[in-house]
Structure formats: C-alpha cells, structure tokens
Amino acid sequence: LAAGQASAENPVTAPLAAATLNIEWTGGKSDPVTLAVTDKALMPADEIEVKDGYKVDNTGSVDAYIRVTVTKYWADGKDKTTDLAAENIELGLNSEDWLKATSLFEGNSNETEVYYYKYPVPAGQSTSELLKTIGIPADLTNEYAGKTVKLEAVADGVQFAGADAADLNASGILASWGVVAELDANGNLVSVTE
C-alpha cells in the first residue's frame, strides 16, 4: 500500500454546502393539510369539482420525486365518524400527472390512498393539482345524511439524482418509500409496485 501527501504554505479550502430537500403545500400550509367539502351539500351520485386540490411546492435546492398520502373519512361536525365507509368517498385523480398506488395498509376501510407524482419536480417549482373531483356513490343510504367529507393529506419527497442515474433514483425511492419504481429514460415514474 502507498500513500501520498502534499503540503503547501496556503491551505486549500473548498466550500461544502449540503443540498436541501424541502417540500411544502402551496400557500405554506402546515402538515397535514385538511380539505373539507363544506360549500355544497352532496347528494347520492353527486360529483363536485375540486379547486386547489392539493399542490406541492419543491422549496428545496434539489429536484425531487413527490408522494402524497391522503386519508379520507366522514365527520359529524368536527368529529371523525368511524362507522361510515371511507370507500364511499370517491376521489377523482388528475391521472395525467399522478399515479395511484394500491392500498399500503390492509384493514383501513380504504381510508388511506397513496399517490405519486409522475415527474421529478425541479427545485422552486410545483406539482399540478392532485385531485379533480370528489364524489359519492348513488346507492348511499340515509346514515350519511348531515355528515361531512374530510380529507387529510401529507406530502413527502425523495431526491432526484438526474435522468442518467436511474438505478440510484430507483434505489432512493425503494429505501425511502419501500416501493419499487419503474422509471423511463427521463427519470419519470412509469409505475410503482409495492
């Protein structure tokens, strides 16, 4: 084994700055963000258009993959109602830009849904809106009368290492989120397997 050493009168310095991964909800809202549908009384078979349906800002210094976990439930006033089925809240996804994962949690009455933004979000930019519509099925019974639909969403990110680092990107997604990601040549998410 050999080692070399070099010395000089003036020390050599190099600035060392760590990249930051930081994401926030549009408008700087705290985590988790709640979206309550209270401006319209929903009737069976209704579907309403969502305005400001969850946008995530990349406020860090590195590009990032974005995931949003949405918990949906019925509420009686401010209190969560656990005896009403969460699957009767139908979320209309912006499927042009987002992928929906299969349920991560068994036995949660379909209360939790996980979505992945298809494209790495550059630093300083935002995702498109996650949701387009919220609806309820036509066969809803009277036990849902007077209840409120509530959604809570938590967003998190994984650093994007660049389009030429597909294996590194996929490994980062697997290590951080526990899912296997298929990526295209540009580093965009094609599919997510749990």
Domain borders along the chain are 23-193
Best CA proximity match to 130, nearest among 110, 144, 116: 116
For tokens 């700055």, name the residue.
17
The token pair that represents 138 in the structure block: 């036509």
Q: What's the confidence (pLDDT) of residue 41? A: 66
Determine the straight-line distance between the first and last CA of the chain, rounded to whole angstroms: 46
SS (H, E, C) 147-184: CEEEEEEEEEEEECCCCCCHHHHHHHHHHHHCCEEEEC
What is the predicted pLDDT for the residue at 5? Answer: 45
Q: What is the CATH number of domain 23-193?
A: 2.60.40
pLDDT recorded at residue 7: 46
- 192: which strand partners? 181
Instruction: For the full predicted model, state whether its pTM sits above 0.95.
Output: no
pLDDT digit string (tens) for 86-142? 999 999 999 999 999 865 555 555 888 899 999 999 999 999 999 988 888 888 888
Q: Which residues of the chain have pLDDT under 50?
A: 1-7
pLDDT at residue 6, rounded to an integer: 46
pLDDT for 21 equals 78
